[in-house]
Structure 1
């Protein structure tokens, strides 16, 4: 059952009417099939027009939708033979960042990503996708393994940011994020990153410093959350909508600024309405990007990563 966002209330009202009519029609006493079809078409058109004109704040809400597909969903729908590897060999295991070898359409890859969880228990277990130092150090370990065995790296980014707790700072959060970013940039193998939900701050950059960065159509990517940014500038989170617009957090804005390289379309109404179709589009896009990197030397790949960061904002 779809959970409707605030701006989707007109669609929710129509869908509720359709459900009511279907229940009436199930009794067989009234023939209202034509009316149901008319309302279904109207609902689809309203959903299409709504999603064609989303604001940055509305896209943020879509990116955070509780039913939006997460890392485990993409593993199930896109990848084969995934073997999760745990621990950073320094402190412990962090379940906010998950990774291991897998296959994508027959290609051997090292898959790494954030997992937010999909219910209360799993969200707590995965710390809502907010990585701790040991999570980023695990990512570094997996990248080093990928380089050693010649496996391209694929990352799926979906985090509101790295965990800001005192214990994370005590264990070197900033250093771990910086080292993870450095590990991305130094990889001798191809790397493709995809922002599939929220791309928040250094917690996202640490897994997204690739030569090719993709973004789902309604994902967001920013240096800070709109609420936190508004709290800093205006001393109130009530200005989050304005902050989202000012920061240029959407895939469309970031493509124009050359922060990302490609937008992957989502089904009408967002990825949560059809995870299978979303995964198929994402799988095809990542596969194309990986295939385009075949045969490139380590030096060329590193130069491409450096160049993509140097050109950000060029001509904007």
Structure 2
């Protein structure tokens, strides 16, 4: 069932009329097929117009859309023979972080991602994609494995941020995130990170300090959520729209700043309208990114990766 966002109400009304017509058994002199085709043309036009001029605040809504493909959807669509690996070998398994081994278009790879879940049960099970220290230590363990067996690392970023609970802080949340970022930078193998929904704060960059950072067109990537920023600066979450503009969290701004390397175009109306097409488009971009790094030795990879992040933020500031 399609879920509509607040700014999509006119589209929802038209699609509702289309559904009503399709369920009519007797419409008198009305040619149902013609009427449906006319309304569908209007829907397509309205979708293009609406999504061509989304504000940063509206992009935040799209990035959080419940019907967007999540980490496990990409794993299922892109990774063959996926074998999940669990636990950080220190404390526990963190289901917010998905990790394992598999084959991506003929290459053996290590996959690390954040899973939000699709319904109430899965969201609770995966803690809404918000990892605890054991999740980031699990990611480090998988990166160690990738280095040992010389396997590329693919990461899928989709989290509002690291879990902010007291227990996570007691177990060393900040250290776990910092160590995970450092481990990304020390990798001797290619790493491609993809921001597929929300890329929130250190919780995202902990698995995104990669050679290539890809980002879906309507995803977001930011140091803090717009609501959190608005609460701090204006002491009101109602200013989240203004915060979203100031944070420059949308893909085109981040590409200009050099924070990401490539924008993956989404279907008209967002990834939620064509999950399979979005998964394929991201897969094509990942494959191209890996090919660009074929033949690079570990020293060159590390040097280029570190240089990339040291220079980050210089573009677009003049």
The question of a shared fold, defined as TM-score above 0.5 by the shorter chain, is answered with: yes
Distance in 2 separating the partners of 1:63 and 1:168: 26
Q: Indicate whether 1:223 and 2:223 are aligned.
A: yes
Alignment of 1:91-240 (within 5 A): 91-240=91-240
Seen in structure 2, the aligned counterparts of structure 1 residues 157 and 37 have a Cα distance that, compared at 3 Å, is: same
- Other-structure match for 2:304: 304
- Other-structure match for 2:12: 12
Distance in 2 separating the partners of 1:141 and 1:164: 22
- Other-structure match for 1:291: 291
Residue 260 of structure 1: how far off its partner (Å): 0.2
SS of the residue aligned with 2:277?
Answer: helix
Which ranges in structure 1 are unaligned for 5 or more consecutive residues?
none
SS of the residue aligned with 1:300?
Answer: helix
Distance in 2 separating the partners of 1:315 and 1:85: 38
- Other-structure match for 2:65: 65
SS of the residue aligned with 2:157?
Answer: strand
- Other-structure match for 2:264: 264
SS of the residue aligned with 1:81?
Answer: strand
Which ranges in structure 2 are unaligned for 5 or more consecutive residues?
none
SS of the residue aligned with 2:83?
Answer: coil
Tell me which stretches of 4 or more aligned residues in structure 1 moved more than 4 Å. Answer: none
Residue 128 of structure 1: how far off its partner (Å): 0.2
Superposed CA offset, 1:96-137 (max 9, x none):
001011111111110000001111111001000000000000
Residue 28 of structure 1: how far off its partner (Å): 6.5
Residue 298 of structure 1: how far off its partner (Å): 1.1
Distance in 2 separating the partners of 1:27 and 1:190: 61
Q: Indicate whether 1:21 and 2:21 are aligned.
A: yes
Seen in structure 2, the aligned counterparts of structure 1 residues 114 and 21 have a Cα distance that, compared at 3 Å, is: same
Superposed CA offset, 1:271-300 (max 9, x none):
111110000000000011011111111111
Distance in 2 separating the partners of 1:59 and 1:198: 10
Distance in 2 separating the partners of 1:80 and 1:33: 41
Residue 304 of structure 1: how far off its partner (Å): 1.3
Is residue 47–residue 268 contact of structure 2 (8 Å, CA) maintained in 1?
yes
Residue 310 of structure 1: how far off its partner (Å): 2.3
Distance in 1 separating the partners of 2:122 and 2:170: 25
Number of aligned residues: 315
Residue 75 of structure 1: how far off its partner (Å): 1.1
Superposed CA offset, 1:162-197 (max 9, x none):
000000000000000000000000000000000000
Residue 22 of structure 1: how far off its partner (Å): 1.7
Distance in 2 separating the partners of 1:98 and 1:313: 29
